[in-house]
Structure 1
Amino acid sequence: MEGNKDEALRCVDLAEKFIQEKNRQKAEKYLNKAEKLFPTDKAKDLLLKINLMAPSNPETTQPRRRVTTQKSEEKENKAPDYTPEQEEAVKRIKKCKDYYEILGVSKDATDSEIKKSYKKLALQMHPDKNKCPGASEAFKAVGNAVAVLTDTEKRKQYDLYGSDEDRLSSHSHHHTYTRGFESDATAEELFNMFFGGGFSGPNVYVRRGGRWQRQTASSQSHQEHSHHREQQSSYTAFIQLLPILLAILLSMASSLFISDPAYSLQVSTKYPILRKTANLNIPYYVKDNFHMEYQ
């Protein structure tokens, strides 16, 4: 036991330190250890003292409450991470009753005017740039507007039936100007199409059959490769047929330069004149102009 006295006293000293720090748990731990190593009156007195202390923890609940309260106050006092202009723009779009009003263009606006207005509003409403409540819905409304008004057929239908929907929406608390005229592509896809995919992956959006379709870089490369193979195949087939075509052309050309024979052994309308050889009297027939050509 005497051999453990120094270690026991060291534990008591540590316990006194933790008592001063209001750390009851560690103080009690070292005092119990000291009593096991070498019992002392001082250790017993300190054990009685810490039993009168309130349950302690190095991180008491009171500081936690203060930290939580402080964080809540900081959150409440923190300024919004969006500008008044962004908030006002979102509110304006929410009040709009038709797509022309959303984009701020007239009903006879050209495609270029519509797209120009869309680009300006889309950058202003994009959720990555505008954290204002309702910005996401406004961004979708702007996307629907440009998708419909840049499609000739959809725009024509919207111009014809939009007023009926406006009358129906006037009886409800929420505008329904998008009903029946939703975009084939999502608002994010349309944004990437207009801005070259700067906010997303390397996708390209093309209109096929009146619908916006996503075309990835890999599929586009595959299509280009297929088109190249088709062109190469057509060229190869033409090269293979070229000798045959040349032979036909040469045959036709040669026939134009070959003259008729001077005589024929059979009478015909072309060779009606009878003549005979001088020595053997063999009959043959010549043309009417024989004597002129072979004088």
Structure 2
Amino acid sequence: MTIEGNKDEAERCIEIAQNAFSIGNYEKAERFLMKAERLYPTARAKDLLTVVRAAIPSGTSKKTPPGTPDDVRRRKAPPPQAPQKEYSTEQLEAVRRINTKCKDYYEILGVSKEATDSDVKKAYKKLALQLHPDKNHAPGAVEAFKAIGNAAAVLTDPEKRKHYDLRGHEVPTQATHTHHQYYARGFESDLTAEELFNMFFGATAFPGAGPAAYTRRRAREPEQRDGHGGLVQLLPVVVLVLLSMMSGLFISEPVFSLTPTAKYPIPRETVNLKIPYYVKDNFHTDYQGSLRRLEMAIEEEYIGNLRHACQRERNYRDNMAWKARNFGDTNQYAEAQRMRMPSCEKLSKYQRDPYGK
């Protein structure tokens, strides 16, 4: 089996061990964690194995009869025991607050419903540094870290936040054990907790941490389905495809494009802001609408695209500067300050225009 194959199998063993541990089957959890260690040693498996062994009541762990080959090997070369990582009372309390006491995304991040986008991001950054599993080893830290990531992803998206305020907090579901589940249907983050963390802090905020270290996709357990169930599940997909095909019959193609293509080869320029755009060969004969309104829409779309691009450039520069200050890297900080932001420079040319304010 290849190294990658071992890694996948080890992850599957860890998931089985977690399920066994959650229902109190400590021996099974210990057995599968030891198997994961043999297949592909990871810090995660070692930490979980330490927690499982600590939870096994004394005198009940499964022992190997003396004189067996396994017993002889253990006596000759006892395996090294991973030290249990420590955590503070404050870290444990922060984890418990999120996992057991909070009822919605606002409580998770500790902000009010009137909090601005900046307030939400600031609260997330503070909690993320406190709860990241590389720094916080308290039980349940991984779940709490995922919860704040999902909360930040929803509350920083204007559309998702609007819908969540209307109905999201009304449908929290309970997880299978003691932890709350905050992923109300329709309000899940499209990113993993680690990917969201790296967007805010960069991949080097905690050296050695990778997206696969603490965030996993849904369990790969096979689901039992019958033939009729599969057809019923496919029915919504078929309906969506048909609706998409029908809607295409009633939606006309755009009149212009901001970039030249084979379909839009003719260059033009708006009268007001001199913004270039491109139209079809038959534009002069086929277009019957108001040219002034069309060019206003072109300028509005162009300025909107510049704003989004400028915001991304600023976020990237600010993240670089924050990391440089955090790690005391003066060279990287100077590089962040010198970084050019071409979209912001273009946008500044239109600041006096009504669309650019």
TM-score class normalised by the smaller sequence: 0.3 to 0.5
Larger Rg: 1
Q: Normalising by structure 1, report the TM-score.
A: 0.40
- TM-score, normalised to structure 2, is 0.34
